[in-house]
Amino acid sequence: MKRITYAGATFVTTDRVADELAAFAVELANAGHADSIAVPGITADGERSDFTLVIGPASQLVVDDLTGPFALTAPEAEELLHERRIRSLRGPGSSGGSGATGGASA
């Protein structure tokens, strides 16, 4: 598990989600674009939540390793990874107004 710190908020998510989020932030910065994305995670209180991050060229995202009894299901992580892959194919900033809805699918 990894801890994400962004804009004063901290949450925990899977290694794959954190790594993909960091790579997405780099892509946006390199392209000079901004976008939003919903990330599944665990709050400091241990509650499951979706965190919507608006990431742009000046964003400062901190990702660090964390160990502990946290859990995030594979389907939630895979949904984020799928969304990121689609956005990468479309190019930065092309979310088409759909924004990031995170785990809204059933």
Q: Where do the structural domains in the chain lie, given as residue ranges?
A: 2-90
Question: Does 94 score more than 80 pLDDT?
Answer: no
**Cβ–Cβ < 8 Å for 3, 68:** no
**Euclidean distance between CA atoms 89 and 84, whole angstroms:** 9
What is the sign, positive or negative, of the torsion defined by CA atoms of 89, 23, 6, 83? positive
Q: Which residue, among 6, 13, 23, 73, has the nearest Cα to 43 in the 3D structure?
A: 13
pLDDT digits (tens, 9 = 90+) for 22-76: 999 999 999 999 999 999 999 888 889 999 999 999 999 999 987 655 555 556 6
**Euclidean distance between CA atoms 32 and 89, whole angstroms:** 17
- Token pair 């389907």 in the structure block, residue: 75
**Euclidean distance between CA atoms 42 and 78, whole angstroms:** 16
Collapsing DSSP to helix, strand or coil, 3 comes out as: strand
- Token pair 């699918």 in the structure block, residue: 105
Q: Supply the pTM of this predicted model.
A: 0.65
